[in-house]
């Protein structure tokens, strides 16, 4: 049985696709910058889980138990597919298989193949010999959308100014605010834009072209649409002129950017 055959049994096409694109993207960059397999995993796993913990740690009113269990299993299978494994995640995935079967969530075929699936995800993964391809940059977000991005227990808001190419990467600008929950558009109307602070201490207008910011709604529960067709942009007259049109990065490098901008 292949990894893809197992994933097909999860009956969650777009969840599987979203996780696959995330792991492929991270694995590509890890293999570009790190030659040691352990170092690659240390690059991939924290970034992956910071994003997908928005599902795993969400309350039951936001994410169902069954969706959480399928997500755990899909994360484990995809890591194994790309040559990696985490002991704790694998243990949770093995439990998830039993819980999904007990609740009769998936098919009879999944039930019959459960022991074989357990053996596969418990086996030593085989590292890739070459980098995977980077997923195509497509987005379902639109110009003038306002979104919330979650990192840990904090929420950050951003305005989408435009899209690059033909519905490719959104170009976003952050509002100067950190929240304990998804903010309302009324809360954001009072806020200025937040920019990068450069080495000379100057804070400049900062736009970011973010690849991997694709599905709406976001299957990882990390990005949420606050409002669409918002004409009022975050004011940035208090900021110095930008350096270039925008800074190119992906959804995972954006994690580090947020931490740097907001000093979290």
The bridge status of strand 247-250 relative to strand 208-211 is parallel
Phi, psi for 107 (deg, rounded to 5): -80, 170
pLDDT at residue number 74: 98
Tokens of 69: 């269990």
Domain extents in the chain: 3-122, 146-262
Cα–Cα dist 55/62, whole Å: 9
Phi, psi for 59 (deg, rounded to 5): -75, 165
Strand ranges inside 169-246, DSSP E: 170-179, 193-194, 196-197, 203-204, 208-211, 223-227
Give, in order, the Cα–Cα distances in Å from 73 to each of 3, 82, 95, 110, 115.
12, 14, 9, 12, 14
Tokens of 132: 């995977």
Tokens of 24: 């492929």
pLDDT at residue number 239: 96
Where the chain has pLDDT below 70, the residues are none
Cα 14 from chain centroid? 13
Cα–Cα dist 69/56, whole Å: 8
Phi, psi for 155 (deg, rounded to 5): -125, 135
Cα–Cα dist 57/257, whole Å: 23
Q: pTM of the prediction? A: 0.95
pLDDT at residue number 264: 72
Tokens of 195: 């920019």
């Amino acid at each position: 049985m292949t990894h893809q055959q197992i994933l097909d049994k999860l009956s969650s096409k777009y969840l599987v696709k979203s996780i696959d694109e995330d792991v492929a993207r991270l694995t590509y960059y890890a293999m570009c910058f790190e030659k040691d397999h352990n170092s690659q995993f240390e690059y991939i796993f924290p970034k992956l889980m910071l994003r997908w913990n928005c599902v795993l740690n969400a309350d039951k009113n936001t994410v169902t138990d069954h969706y959480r269990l399928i997500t755990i299993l899909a994360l484990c299978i995809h890591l194994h597919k790309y040559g990696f494994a985490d002991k704790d995640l694998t243990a949770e995935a093995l439990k998830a298989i039993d819980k999904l079967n007990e609740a009769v969530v998936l098919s009879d075929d999944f039930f019959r193949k459960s022991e074989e699936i357990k053996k596969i995800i418990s086996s030593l993964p085989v590292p890739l010999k070459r980098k995977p391809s980077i997923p195509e940059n497509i987005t379902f977000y639109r110009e003038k959308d306002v979104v919330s991005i979650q990192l840990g227990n904090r929420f950050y808001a951003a305005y989408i100014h435009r899209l690059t190419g033909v519905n490719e990467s959104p170009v976003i600008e952050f509002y100067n605010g950190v929240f304990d929950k998804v903010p309302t558009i009324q809360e954001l109307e009072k806020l200025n834009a937040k920019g990068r602070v450069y080495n000379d201490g100057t804070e400049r207008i900062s736009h970011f072209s973010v690849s991997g910011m694709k599905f709406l709604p976001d299957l990882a529960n990390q990005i949420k649409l606050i409002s669409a067709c918002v004409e009022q942009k975050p004011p940035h007259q208090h900021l110095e002129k930008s350096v270039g049109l925008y800074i190119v990065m992906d959804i995972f490098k954006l994690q580090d950017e947020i931490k740097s901008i907001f000093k979290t």
